[in-house]
Amino acid sequence: MNENRQEKERIKEQDSLLEFPCDFPIKVMGLSNPEFAESIGAAIREIVPDFDIGTITCARSKTGKYTALTVTIHAVDRAQLDSIYMMLTSHPLVKIVL
At residue 10 the predicted structure's pLDDT band, cuts being 50, 70 and 90, is low
Mean pLDDT of 1-21: 69
Q: What is the DSSP string of 37-93?
A: HHHHHHHHHHHSTT--GGG-EEEE-TTSSEEEEEEEEEE--HHHHHHHHHHHHH-TT
45-98 pLDDT, tens digit per residue, is: 999 999 999 999 999 999 999 999 999 999 999 999 999 999 999 999 999 999
Per-residue pLDDT of 21-36, as tens digits, reads 999 999 999 999 999 9
Ordered by where they begin, the domains of the chain are 19-97 (3.30.70.260)
How does residue 17 score in pLDDT terms, banded at 50, 70 and 90?
A: confident
